[in-house]
Structures are given as structure tokens and as C-alpha cells.
């Protein structure tokens, strides 16, 4: 089972890279550093600034700061919230509030996670952003090592009277627990906007270095 999931993840990654070469639209990057602090046995808080680039990584696109918390409930369930302030060049700031319910499952063979998110954009500064219901399904082999590969699919169900799936992300990646304090997450994201031309694809290279405070 572990080898099967690893092979599937590799095949998906190769397919996405090959498709990128054949029909490249734009390559973007999200680079983040997260600082996490456990405030109790089951709850942590986190701050994460992010810098984004586009136009094949040549130009700065925008940046943001996330403030979040997550608390474990029981039987693999957890609940969390996130506030994101978005800074866009030559525009006023944008603000998002997200609420998450997550279920995690682990066996000797696989690790699996389902995250359900209510994506709420605050209509401030004369701008109305879209609201979504998001579902993130992630699965990978349980290697019981410091490196955990995975594949994920994220769907965005648009609210605001549209009531349709408008965006899908395909994300092969890995999580590397460098030591007890440092974690590196690397993801290759293929994003398809179904509300526009589904043939227009965006590739995002997501890298997050995280530190757990003692």
C-alpha cells in the first residue's frame, strides 16, 4: 500500500510537470515562514507571513499575514480559525476569516486528512470578494520517518448565489520534520479555475518553513 501511494504520487507529479511543459501559462510561488506556539496540550497558535510571486516568478504579486489557532477535540477531530490580512500593491488591504473542521486518520499503512473550511471574505474598502466552502482531501503513505509524501485535492464551492465548484487544486507534496522544532513543507500546486477557461492553469510552488517555539 505504501509503495502504491508513493508511485501514484510520483505519477501525478510527473503528469503535472509534463503538462506544464506542454501548455505553460504562469508559474507562481508562495514562500512562507510560520511560528507556532503550543498554549496547551491540545491547542496551538500560529503566525505566518507569506510572499507571493507571479509572471514566472519574476514579479512580486502580493503578501499576507495569517493569525491562526487549532485545538484538538477527540477521535481525530480538531477545530480551528484563521484571519488573513492581504497586502496587494496599489490596492487597499483585504481581509479574510476562515473556520476549519479537520479529521485526521492514521494507520500502519496510510495517513489521511479531511479539512472542511468556511472561507469568508470581508467586504471592506469598497471591494467584494468571493465566499467559498472548501474541502481539502489529503492522503499519503505512513513511512514512520521524518519525511511524509502526500497528494491532496482541494475544491472551492462558490457561495454568493453561484452555488458551484469554481476552483480545484491538485497538490503533490511532502512534509519534512527536520528535527523537533523545524518543519519544511513543499508543495507543487496545479490550480484550475473552472469559472473561467478550464484550460488556463496556474502552477504554484509552495514552500513553508515552520518553527515550533518551546
Average pLDDT over the chain, rounded to whole?
A: 90
Q: What average pLDDT does this structure show over 81-104?
A: 96
* Structure confidence by residue, pLDDT tens digits, 175-209: 999 999 999 999 999 999 887 765 678 999 999 99
Ordered domains of the chain (ranges, CATH): 2-213 (2.40.160.40)
Confidence check: pLDDT of 18 > 60: no
Instruction: State the pLDDT at residue 22.
Output: 46
d(CA 60, CA 49): 14
Q: If you average pLDDT over residues 120-140, what whole number do you get?
A: 92
Q: Cβ contacts of residue 63 below 8 Å, gap of 6+?
A: 49, 50, 51, 52, 86, 87
Residue 19 has pLDDT above 90, yes or no: no
Q: For 140-173, what is each residue's pLDDT tens digit?
A: 999 988 999 999 999 999 999 999 999 999 999 9
pTM (two decimals): 0.86
pLDDT of residue 20: 47
Residues facing residue 136 across a β-bridge: 115, 154
Amino acid at each position: 500500500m505504501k509503495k502504491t501511494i508513493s508511485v501514484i504520487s510520483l505519477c501525478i507529479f510527473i503528469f503535472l510537470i509534463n503538462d506544464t511543459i506542454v501548455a505553460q501559462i504562469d508559474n507562481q510561488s508562495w514562500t512562507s515562514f510560520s511560528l507556532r506556539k503550543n498554549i496547551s496540550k491540545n491547542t496551538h497558535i500560529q503566525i505566518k507571513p507569506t510572499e507571493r510571486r507571479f509572471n514566472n516568478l519574476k514579479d512580486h504579486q502580493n503578501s499576507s499575514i495569517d493569525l491562526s489557532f487549532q485545538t484538538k477535540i477527540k477521535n481525530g477531530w480538531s477545530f480551528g480559525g484563521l484571519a488573513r490580512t492581504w497586502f496587494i500593491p496599489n490596492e487597499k488591504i483585504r481581509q479574510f476569516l476562515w473556520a476549519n473542521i479537520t479529521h485526521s486518520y492514521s494507520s500502519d499503512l496510510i495517513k489521511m486528512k479531511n479539512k472542511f473550511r468556511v472561507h469568508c471574505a470581508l467586504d471592506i474598502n469598497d471591494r467584494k470578494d468571493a465566499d467559498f466552502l472548501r474541502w481539502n482531501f489529503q492522503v499519503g503513505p505512513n513511512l514512520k520517518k521524518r519525511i511524509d509524501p502526500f497528494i491532496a485535492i482541494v475544491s472551492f464551492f462558490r457561495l454568493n448565489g453561484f452555488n458551484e465548484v469554481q476552483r480545484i487544486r491538485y497538490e503533490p507534496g511532502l512534509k519534512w520534520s527536520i528535527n523537533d522544532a523545524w518543519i519544511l513543507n513543499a508543495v507543487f500546486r496545479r490550480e484550475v479555475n473552472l469559472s473561467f477557461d478550464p484550460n488556463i492553469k496556474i502552477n504554484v510552488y509552495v514552500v513553508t518553513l515552520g518553527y515550533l517555539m518551546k
